[in-house]
Each structure stands twice: as C-alpha cells, then as structure tokens.
Chains A and B, each alone.
Chain A
Amino acid sequence: MADEAIVNASGTDSPAVHDGAGVDEGVRRRDFINIAAVSFAGVGGLAVLVPLVSQMAPSADVLAESSTEIDISQIAPGQAIKAVFRKQPVFVRNLTPVEIGEADKVPTSSLRDPQTLEERTKAGKKNWLITMGVCTHLGCVPLGAGEGEVKGEFGGYFCPCHGSVYDTAARIRKGPAPKNLEVPPYEFTSDTVVKIG
C-alpha cells in the first residue's frame, strides 16, 4: 500500500494507467505480487512452527523405552506385581478362580465401560490380568496390587485420589473414572515371560 501512495502522490502514474487495464477498481499486477509475496512468507512462517511444536512431542529415547519383559513365574494365584512400562506402573495379576468367577458373573450391560474378562485377557490365559496401573480419571496409581493394600469394595483396585473403584477384571465400577484400567499391548513370549509393548 505504501508504494501505491508514493505513485499517486507523484501524480504521474495512476493505477489505471499503470497496469493498462483501464478499470479504476481493477486488480493491479502489483497487488498480485504483494499478495503472493506475503502469502509465501506466511506459509514459510507457519512452516517454522512445525519443528517448534514437534520438539515437544515424546523424543526418540522416550519412545524407545516402550517395551518391557516381565518374568511372571513367581506370581502365585491371588498375587500381583507392579512393573514399569513407559515410566508408568503396570499391574500383572494372577487371578484366583473365585476372582474370575466374580468378574464373569457381572452382566456387561451394567458396566460403564462394558467388557468381559475374556476380552481383557489372552486366550487360555484368563487368570493373567495385565493392565496399566494408571487410573483412567487423572492418572494416579490405584491401590490393590501390593501386599496388604486396599482393594476396594469390588476386590480389584481402589484409587485413593478421587475414589474410583475397579473390580477383579480391573473394570471401572464406581467413582469418577470413565474407563476400565487400560490393557497395554502385550504377548506371552513363553509360559513364564510376558513382553509388554
């Protein structure tokens, strides 16, 4: 716009004459160059944001820590251990037949996040309940995996932060959490070793 003012102020060159279109309100070639230049600079400016935003995402070394092997041979029925996967706790629990029975007799339609115990365990390994130890409300570590910890009124896990209660299949039954405890991707590499991630 500044150059337009200069051109007009000189009185020798009106926009209409300048671009030869003969229309006063017409688009001049100079307008096109202005818009194209500013747009290109704008795209370039936005492109600079990509690395600035992306640098905050999890880095390669953080992502590389995303698999964990666990020896489960020492976990007796009724016991659970805490392992670490992606710097977060994982609960590996060897369910007793009673606990499996309790989980199975709950009609899934009555659940907030309907899932059966089968869907949350591997085929033929229904007693091995492997979940993240991260409450789906705001991320606290629920109690119930350690020896002597409160398991809550459904015999599974209890989150002390805001009072979410999980059952023996680690499904949400009461409290503010919206989802069941997450089942991470895992596989049995042998009968006694589980690879998480």
Chain B
Amino acid sequence: MSFPWAKEYKPSHPLMQWLDEKLPLPRFVYNAVGAGYPVPRNLNYFWNFGILAGVCLMLQIVTGVVLAMHYAANSGVAFDSVEHIMRDVNWGWMLRYAHANGASAFFVVVYIHIFRGFFFSSYKAPREMIWLLGVTIFLLMMATAFMGYVLPWGQMSFWGAKVITGLFSAIPVVGEPLQQWLLGGFAPDNAALNRFFSLHFLLPFVILGVVILHIWALHIPGSSNPTGVEVKTESDTVPFHPYYTAKDGFGLGVFAILYCTMLFFLPNALGHPDNYIQANPLSTPAHIVPEWYFWPFYAILRAFTADFLFIPAKLMGVLAMFSAILVWFFLPWLDTSPVRSGHYRPLFRKFFYLLVIDVLVLGYCGGSPAETKYVLISQIAATYYFLHFLVILPIVASIEKPAPLPFSITEAVLGKDDQTAPAA
C-alpha cells in the first residue's frame, strides 16, 4: 500500500497497543494522513484542494444535519420554515448562510481540484481509478446540490426543479412517465419536495463513502506530484505528518478567511433574490438560471437550438450536457501522452489554458439570458469544449515533443540527486 520506507505505526501506550490489536483504527489514520504516509516532497499548493474538499464535505454535513433539525419538508410550510431558521432559530441565519455558501465553496474547491487533475494529468495510469471515483463524486455532488437548492421552496427552487426534471422528458418514449415518476406528480409539489429532502440528506453520506474509496485508491500508488515523475527513493518523499498536515493547515486558514468573508459580508452574493419569493407554479421568473456552479453545463444545454439529423434539439442539449461530464470518464484513455505534468508539455499547456478560458466563457454565457449572441457564443464554446477532449488531446499527445523530464523528484527540487546514479 505504501513505499517500503514508510514508517510503521508503533504505539507506546499499553491502551493504544491493546486497541491496535483489536481494531487498528489509529494505525489506519497513521498510514493515511500521519507519518506513515510518505508523500512527494515537492507538492505545491494545488495539492491542498483534496483536503479542502474533504473539509467542505464535513462542513456541509455538520451544518446540514443541524439545519434539518429545524427545516420542514412540506410544500405548505417549507418556505416559512426557512424564514423561521433565518429569524427565530438561535444562530439559524449563520448556519443557513454557512450551508448555502459552503456549497459554493465546495464547488470552487472541487473545480480547482479537477483542473489541477487536468493540468498535471493526475488521471493517468496508475491513478485512473482515483480519477473515475472523483468524477463519480462530482456527479453525486451535482445531484445533491440541485436537490438542496429545491428545499427552500422559493421561485428559483421550484422552477429549477421543473426545468431540471424537464430534461428527462426529452428522452424518447419513456421521458414523460419518467419525469412524473421522479416528481411523484405532474409538476414539482409536496411529493417531489419530500423525496428531494430525503435524498439530499442521504447523498452526502454516499459521497463520503466514495471519498473513502477515492482516498483508498490514492494510497495504493501514492500522491502524484508537480513533475509527474514517480517516486524513486526515500529522498523523494517526506512523511505526510508533520510536513503536509502543516501545509494543509495553512491552506485551510487561507480558505477559512475567504469563506468567512463570503459568509459574513456577502452571504447572498451568489444567491438569487427570486428565491426569497415563495414558489408559485403559475408564474415563471423572467430570468431563471441555476446556481453559478452549473452555468457552464447550462450553457451547453442551451447551445442546441436546431434539430440535428433525426434528434430533436431538446434531446441533443440534454445529451450534450451530460456528455460534457461523462467525457471525463474517458480522459485517462484519450490523453495518451506518457508525460504527466503540463510543465513538461509545451503544446498541451497552451490548450489547457484555452480550455480554462473556454469553460469560463461557457460559465458566463450560462449565467446570461437566452439571447442570440450568448447562444451563439455558447455554441462555439461548447464545440471547442468537446473538441478539446475528443480531438485535441489525442492529437497533441501524438505530435507533441515534451520537454526533458528531471531524473527524479529530488533532482527537480535540489538540482542534483545523490542517491541515484549521477546523470551521464
């Protein structure tokens, strides 16, 4: 599971020795995030975001569980119970803002985590399974966030639920019954609200389970690093504790400053005023948009305005939106370059930054009204998005001449590596 030079857990206290024999939980923690886990010595701050994502998940679970003690999942009183949390429950306003902004923070952190993976090709062998589990976590996060946003039962909640479940009605033949089955009715109502609450409570724990698999799979090959060169000797690594517990602690402090700034000074900056109006099935808000973290995918959904061959535009949009994430599952096999790190891939690096810009453009269009110019930009940006993964990556991998790699992580850090053969 780890490198041969990993320190072994040796409990000194008789109680810990007794526990280690019966249930080696401290040993497990020691080997996972303690001194027993050797980690490349050259990790940069982009490697903080995995831990930060874990912190966000715990934050959401803790605030969510206490909010559930005050929230009532009934379409008659749900909106009022949220206002009750905001006005009457002790610290309710803070807990709710912490949860709402915690969702945004979670997505910021996870997007950086994912793009770290894109740049440093963290998905490549032997870490494909970590990547596949990660994409699964992201899909579960999207489902959880969507259902959570429905719970306050405001206008955006209601119409978001209607539009997103409406996506399923695009599926031929079974679409309409499927939508009614998902909602438990013909439009979002009490049945839908109740089941969304149930699933919104359940899914974070499913995510937690997949996160544990994600970390388990990570600890088999060990963490990747900014050079993309695999660990060769002990001098390439440092123990996770105290080196990265300290570094992650610092990163956590910076994160907490930014998060608390949002929470205490701009708690509604990322929300929609319309969601403070109770759900009204007879009136659609003039401009409905999902939460910011869905904007790039929403732009892809809206980019399809004309029927393509025999497929209706509506179904094309839905297929494209889901494909935009499903294509990530194939990434380990689309990018065939043997070099991992973008630092040593000059051509790939340019396309990586283009992809970042492309996704930002998609996000901007997804948050804008459905006007012709935004739809046109979305169409171009969505086309480029798929080109990047399906065409550009494989071609770049085959024509690119990568820059020379360092012999080892130690050499990359110190300029020389005494433990390995001197460079000829």
Contacts and interface: CB of A to CB of B under 8 A. Distances in A.
Contacts, number: 84
Main secondary structure of the interface of A (DSSP, over half): loop
B370 interface: yes
Interface in B145-194: 159, 162-163, 165-167, 169, 180-187, 189, 191
Given A84-B282, A160-B287, A62 B185 contact: yes
Contact of B163 (A62, A133, A140): A140
A163 B373 CA distance: 13
Contacts of A87: 185-187, 189, 281
Nearest to A162: B370
Given A56-B195, A57-B184, A139 B305 contact: no
A87 B371 CA distance: 30
B275 to A, nearest CB: 16
Given A139-B162, A176-B304, A160 B191 contact: no
A51 B304 CA distance: 38
Interface in A38-66: 53, 56-59, 62
Contact of A141 (B169, B186, B284): B284
Interface in A106-158: 133-134, 137-141
Contacts of B189: 62, 87
Given A56-B182, A161-B284, A175-B305, A138 B162 contact: yes
A137 B314 contact: yes
Given A140-B288, A141-B283, A162-B302, A178 B185 contact: no
B185 A58 contact: yes
Interface residues of B, number: 34
A161 to B, nearest CB: 6
A161 B314 contact: no
A62 B191 contact: yes
Contacts of A84: 281-282
| 10 interchain residue pairs of minimum CB distance | A138-B166, A139-B166, A86-B186, A140-B284, A138-B163, A141-B284, A139-B162, A62-B185, A178-B312, A87-B187
Interface of A: 53, 56-59, 62, 82, 84, 86-89, 133-134, 137-141, 159-163, 175-178
Interface of B: 159, 162-163, 165-167, 169, 180-187, 189, 191, 195, 281-284, 286-288, 302, 304-305, 312-314, 317, 370-371
7 contacts: A57-B180, A88-B281, A138-B166, A141-B283, A141-B284, A177-B314, A178-B313
